[in-house]
Structure formats: structure tokens, C-alpha cells
Amino acid sequence: MVTMVFANFPVTDLARATAFYTALGFKQNHEYSDERASGMVWDEHFWVMLLTRDYYQEFLLDKKVADPKTVSGALVAFSLDTPDAVRAFAKAAADNGGSFYRVDTEIPDEVMVGFEVVDLDGNILEPTWMAQ
């Protein structure tokens, strides 16, 4: 069996978040989307599930939904094929209302390239390329 990863992100405006992730290169799977959620597919192994804050809350029992603009609960990293693909992903985020930054890990670019890509709600993805 192949493992699939589903990162679930709380969002304040589902339509706006769906448009943002579409601009990054994700494709919406309408079978797993409704007025509470958008199933956004990167490839057959990695999805981002955008959930309205009320719907996200249903999965937390007595915990509160964090505001990802002020509190981080997870950094979701995934690999891309080339350093240029990583740079293009980060640029697409910035071009569509998100942002990105780079943490100085002191790892040279010929070994690894990665950015912290921040979506419209403050959730963070880490597109990364690593030499093999």
C-alpha cells in the first residue's frame, strides 16, 4: 500500500483559499469538496484539505482552532523535482497574495533549496528540493 498525506488547514474564506491553492498548481477534487471543504490535490500522494474554521473545529473535540497567522502548529514539507520548481512555487504564492521566506540552514543550494511558503491564512508549506 502506498501512503497518502492529507494536510488539513483551517481557512477563513474557502473560495479565496481554493483559488490561491489552484494558483500554486493544486487541482481541486470536487468529489471531496463542498461548502465546508476543498480537497486540493498536488499529486496522487499529497493533498491539502482546506476546511472552514467551523468544520475544522469538529475534528478537535475540546481544543480550539489556532489562528495560523499568530500560532504555528505544523510545518508541512514536501519535495519538488528541481530548485527552480521550488522557487516558482514560492513566487506563485507571493504573486497571489501569500508570501515566502527562507530560513538560513547553512545548507548550500547545491544540496538543498527550500522556502517557508505562507498562505492567505498563515498556514505554512515547505516546498523543498534535495540532491539525491
Q: How many domains does the chain have?
A: 1
Residue 98 belongs to a domain: yes
Would you say residue 89 has pLDDT above 80? yes
Among the residue ranges 15-19, 34-38, 96-100, 104-108, the one predicted with the least confidence is 104-108
Res 53 pLDDT > 90: yes
SS3 100: strand
Q: What is the DSSP string of 4-71?
A: -EEEEEEES-HHHHHHHHHHHT-EEEGGG-SSSEEEEEEETTEEEEEEEHHHHHTTSTTPPPP-TTT-
CATH classification at residue 101: 3.10.180.10
* Cell triple for 111: 544540496
pLDDT at 62: 94
| Within a domain: 67 | no
Does any domain span residue 66? no
Q: Which residues contact 3 (CB under 8 A, 6 or more apart)?
A: 45
82 within some domain = yes
| pLDDT at site 109 | 95
Contact 116, 102 (CB under 8 A): yes
Query: In the prediction, which pLDDT does 46 show?
Result: 96
Nearest to 86 by CA among 44, 126, 46: 126
pLDDT of residue 132: 85
Please give the share of the chain, as a percent, with pLDDT higher than 90.
96
Rounded mean pLDDT, 69-91: 95
Q: Which pLDDT score, from 0 to 100, does residue 86 have?
A: 97
Residue 83 structural domain: 5-61+73-130
Contact 124, 75 (CB under 8 A): yes
pTM assigned to the model:
0.93
> 14 in a domain, yes or no?
yes
| Per-residue pLDDT at 128 exceeds 90 | yes
Q: Which three cell numbers stand for residue 46?
A: 499529497
> What is the per-residue pLDDT for 1?
73
Average pLDDT, the chain: 96
Q: Which of 35, 37, 129, 125 is nearest to 81 (CA)?
A: 129
**Rounded Cα–Cα distance for residues 99 and 73 (Å):** 18
- The predicted pLDDT at position 113 comes to 97
